[in-house]
Chain A
Amino acid sequence: MADALAKSGFIGKDDEHAAPKTFVLWRPTAKTGLMGWLTTVDHKRIGFLYGISALTFFLIGGIEALLIRTQLIVPNNHFLSAQQYNEMFTMHATTMIFLAIMPLSAAFFNFIMPLQIGARDVAFPRLNAFSYWVFLAGAIIINLGWFMKDGAPNGGWFGYTPLTTKLFSPNHAIDMWVMGLQLLGVASIAASLNFIITIINLRAPGMTMMRLPVFTWMTLVTAFLLILAFPAITIALVELMMDRLFGTNFFEVSNGGMPILWTHLFWVFGHPEVYILILPGMGVISEILPTFARKPLFGYPIVVFSGASIGFLGFGVWSHHMFTTGLGTMGTAAFALTTMVIAVPTGVKIFNWIGTLWGGHISMRTPMLFALGFIWMFMLGGFSGVMHAAAPADAEQHNSYFVVAHFHYVLIGGSLFSLLAGIHYWFPLMFGRKVSEFWGKLSFWIVFCGFNITFFPMHFLGLNGMPRRTFTYDHNMGWDTGNMIATIGAFILGIGVAVYFIVMIYTFFKGERTYQDPWDARTLEWSLPCPPPEYNYRVIPTVHARDNWWYQKHHKEEIAKENAEHAKAEEAHGGIHMPFQSIYPFIAALGILIGAIGVSVIDPDPGPGLIGKKLAVSLIGFLIFFVAVCLWSLEGNEGYHIHPKAEKESET
Chain B
Amino acid sequence: MSTAAAGAIDHHHDPTTSTGIPNKKLLMWAFLASDCMFFGCLISTHLIYRLHPPPGVPAARDVFSIELTSFSTFILLMSSLMMALAVDAIQKGNVKSLRTSLLTTILFGSIFLGCQVYEFNNFVFEKHLTITNSILGSTFFTLTGTHGTHVAIGVLWLTLMYIRSFKPAGAEAARGTWLLLSFVHLVVFMATLGLSMYLVLHFARAAQAGGFGLHTCLHFGKVEYKAILGAIVGFLGVRWFALPRGPVDFDQRHAIDVEMMGLYWHFVDIVWIVIFTAVYLLEYIK
Contact surface of A with B, Cβ cutoff 8 Å: 20, 22-25, 123-124, 189, 193-194, 196-197, 200-203, 207, 227-232, 234-236, 238-239, 242, 246-250, 255-258, 261, 265, 268, 630, 633-634
Q: How far is the CA of A633 from the CA of B134 in the complex (A)?
A: 42
CB distance from A207 to the nearest CB of B (A): 8
Q: Is the CB of A261 within 8 A of B45?
A: yes
Q: Knowing A22-B176, A201-B26, A202-B18 are in contact, say whether A239-B45 is a contact too (CB < 8 A).
A: yes
Q: How far is the CA of A261 from the CA of B42 in the complex (A)?
A: 11
Q: How far is the CA of A232 from the CA of B44 in the complex (A)?
A: 11
Q: Is the CB of B37 within 8 A of A231?
A: yes
Counting from the closest, the 8 A-B pairs by CB-CB distance are: A256-B54, A23-B176, A231-B37, A235-B41, A248-B138, A201-B17, A256-B135, A227-B34
Q: Is the CB of A232 within 8 A of B132?
A: no
In-complex Cβ contact of B17 among A193, A202, A238, A258 (8 A): A202
Mask: chain B, 8-35; 1 = CB below 8 Å from A; 0 = not: 0000000001110101001100110111
Number of residues from B at the complex interface, CB < 8 A: 40
Q: Knowing A201-B18, A256-B57, A257-B135 are in contact, say whether A23-B34 is a contact too (CB < 8 A).
A: no
Q: Knowing A193-B30, A249-B135 are in contact, say whether A634-B179 is a contact too (CB < 8 A).
A: yes
Q: Is the CB of B34 within 8 A of A258?
A: no
In-complex Cβ contact of A249 among B21, B26, B37, B132 (8 A): B132
- The answer to the question of B139 belonging to the interface, with a C-beta cut-off of 8 Å to chain A, is yes
Q: How far is the CA of A227 from the CA of B29 in the complex (A)?
A: 12
Majority secondary structure, B binding face: helix
In-complex Cβ contact of A200 among B19, B37, B138, B164 (8 A): B19
- The answer to the question of B53 belonging to the interface, with a C-beta cut-off of 8 Å to chain A, is yes
- The answer to the question of B71 belonging to the interface, with a C-beta cut-off of 8 Å to chain A, is no
Q: Is the CB of B23 within 8 A of A247?
A: no
In-complex Cβ contact of A236 among B41, B175, B179 (8 A): B41
Q: Is the CB of A228 within 8 A of B135?
A: no
- The answer to the question of B233 belonging to the interface, with a C-beta cut-off of 8 Å to chain A, is no
Q: How far is the CA of A249 from the CA of B26 in the complex (A)?
A: 38
**Nearest residue in B to A198 (C-beta to C-beta)?**
B23
Known: A23-B179, A242-B138. 20 other contacts (CB 8 A): A23-B176, A24-B176, A25-B179, A189-B31, A201-B18, A201-B21, A201-B26, A227-B33, A228-B33, A229-B37, A235-B41, A235-B42, A248-B137, A248-B138, A249-B132, A250-B139, A255-B134, A256-B54, A257-B49, A630-B160
Q: Is the CB of A189 within 8 A of B34?
A: yes
In-complex Cβ contact of B30 among A227, A261, A630 (8 A): A227
Q: Knowing A193-B34, A255-B54 are in contact, say whether A235-B131 is a contact too (CB < 8 A).
A: no
Q: How far is the CA of A234 from the CA of B35 in the complex (A)?
A: 11
In-complex Cβ contact of B142 among A228, A229, A247, A248 (8 A): A248
CB distance from A34 to the nearest CB of B (A): 26
Please, which residues of chain B bring their CB within 8 A of the CB of A248?
A: 131-132, 137-138, 141-142
In-complex Cβ contact of B179 among A24, A124, A203, A249 (8 A): A24
Q: How far is the CA of A630 from the CA of B34 in the complex (A)?
A: 23
- The answer to the question of B48 belonging to the interface, with a C-beta cut-off of 8 Å to chain A, is yes
Please, which residues of chain B bring their CB within 8 A of the CB of A258?
A: 48-49, 52
Q: Is the CB of A231 within 8 A of B38?
A: yes
Q: Knowing A201-B21, A249-B134, A634-B179 are in contact, say whether A228-B160 is a contact too (CB < 8 A).
A: no
Q: How far is the CA of A651 from the CA of B21 in the complex (A)?
A: 39
CB distance from B114 to the nearest CB of A (A): 22
Please, which residues of chain B bring their CB within 8 A of the CB of A633?
A: 160
Please, which residues of chain B bring their CB within 8 A of the CB of A202?
A: 17-18
List 8 interface pairs A-B (beta carbons < 8 Å), by A numbering: A201-B17, A227-B30, A235-B45, A248-B137, A250-B139, A255-B135, A256-B53, A265-B41
Q: Is the CB of A235 within 8 A of B38?
A: yes
Please, which residues of chain A bring their CB within 8 A of the CB of B31?
A: 189, 193, 227
Please, which residues of chain A bring their CB within 8 A of the CB of B164?
A: 634
In-complex Cβ contact of A246 among B17, B45, B49, B132 (8 A): B132
Q: Is the CB of A247 within 8 A of B131?
A: yes
- The answer to the question of B62 belonging to the interface, with a C-beta cut-off of 8 Å to chain A, is no
**Nearest residue in A to B172 (C-beta to C-beta)?**
A20
Please, which residues of chain A bring their CB within 8 A of the CB of B19?
A: 200-201
Mask: chain B, 120-149; 1 = CB below 8 Å from A; 0 = not: 000000000001101101110110001000
Q: How far is the CA of A255 from the CA of B130 in the complex (A)?
A: 13
Interface positions of B from 247 to 274, Cβ below 8 Å from A: none
Mask: chain B, 194-205; 1 = CB below 8 Å from A; 0 = not: 000000000000
Q: Is the CB of A231 within 8 A of B54?
A: no
Please, which residues of chain A bring their CB within 8 A of the CB of B21?
A: 200-201
Q: Knowing A202-B17, A248-B142 are in contact, say whether A123-B23 is a contact too (CB < 8 A).
A: yes
Please, which residues of chain A bring their CB within 8 A of the CB of B42?
A: 235
Q: Is the CB of B179 within 8 A of A256?
A: no
Q: Is the CB of A261 within 8 A of B134?
A: no
Please, which residues of chain B bring their CB within 8 A of the CB of A246?
A: 131-132
CB distance from B9 to the nearest CB of A (A): 17
Please, which residues of chain B bring their CB within 8 A of the CB of A238?
A: 142, 146
Q: Is the CB of A23 within 8 A of B175?
A: yes
Please, which residues of chain B bring their CB within 8 A of the CB of A207?
A: 18
Best-surrounded residue of B17, B37, B48, B54 (most CB of chain A within 10 A): B37
In-complex Cβ contact of B23 among A124, A231, A236, A634 (8 A): A124
Interface positions of B from 84 to 125, Cβ below 8 Å from A: none
Q: Is the CB of B45 within 8 A of A250?
A: yes
Q: How far is the CA of A201 from the CA of B175 in the complex (A)?
A: 33
**Nearest residue in B to A247 (C-beta to C-beta)?**
B132
CB distance from B100 to the nearest CB of A (A): 23
Q: How far is the CA of A227 from the CA of B33 in the complex (A)?
A: 8
Please, which residues of chain A bring their CB within 8 A of the CB of B26?
A: 196-197, 200-201
Q: Is the CB of B41 within 8 A of A22?
A: no
Q: Is the CB of A196 within 8 A of B30?
A: yes
Please, which residues of chain A bring their CB within 8 A of the CB of B33?
A: 227-228
Please, which residues of chain A bring their CB within 8 A of the CB of B17?
A: 201-202
Q: How far is the CA of A268 from the CA of B132 in the complex (A)?
A: 26
Q: How far is the CA of A264 from the CA of B47 in the complex (A)?
A: 15
Q: Knowing A193-B31, A232-B41 are in contact, say whether A201-B23 is a contact too (CB < 8 A).
A: yes
Please, which residues of chain B bring their CB within 8 A of the CB of A250?
A: 45, 135, 138-139, 142
Q: How far is the CA of A227 from the CA of B142 in the complex (A)?
A: 22
Q: How far is the CA of A229 from the CA of B38 in the complex (A)?
A: 9
CB distance from A580 to the nearest CB of B (A): 14
**Nearest residue in B to A257 (C-beta to C-beta)?**
B135
CB distance from B201 to the nearest CB of A (A): 20
CB distance from B31 to the nearest CB of A (A): 6
Please, which residues of chain A bring their CB within 8 A of the CB of B142?
A: 238-239, 242, 248, 250
Q: How far is the CA of A189 from the CA of B164 in the complex (A)?
A: 27
Q: How far is the CA of A228 from the CA of B39 in the complex (A)?
A: 12
Q: How far is the CA of A125 from the CA of B18 in the complex (A)?
A: 18
Q: How far is the CA of A442 from the CA of B59 in the complex (A)?
A: 69
Please, which residues of chain A bring their CB within 8 A of the CB of B172?
A: 20, 22
Best-surrounded residue of B54, B134, B160 (most CB of chain A within 10 A): B54
Please, which residues of chain B bring their CB within 8 A of the CB of A227?
A: 30-31, 33-34, 37
**Nearest residue in B to A248 (C-beta to C-beta)?**
B138
CB distance from A271 to the nearest CB of B (A): 14
Q: How far is the CA of A256 from the CA of B139 in the complex (A)?
A: 11
Interface positions of B from 134 to 191, Cβ below 8 Å from A: 134-135, 137-139, 141-142, 146, 160, 164, 172, 175-176, 179
Please, which residues of chain A bring their CB within 8 A of the CB of B37?
A: 227-229, 231-232
Please, which residues of chain B bring their CB within 8 A of the CB of A24?
A: 175-176, 179
In-complex Cβ contact of A25 among B23, B49, B175 (8 A): B175
Q: Is the CB of B41 within 8 A of A197?
A: no
CB distance from B1 to the nearest CB of A (A): 9
Please, which residues of chain B bring their CB within 8 A of the CB of A247?
A: 131-132
In-complex Cβ contact of A197 among B30, B35, B57 (8 A): B30
Q: How far is the CA of A360 from the CA of B54 in the complex (A)?
A: 65
**Nearest residue in A to B53 (C-beta to C-beta)?**
A256
CB distance from B43 to the nearest CB of A (A): 10
CB distance from B168 to the nearest CB of A (A): 14
Q: Is the CB of A22 within 8 A of B175?
A: yes
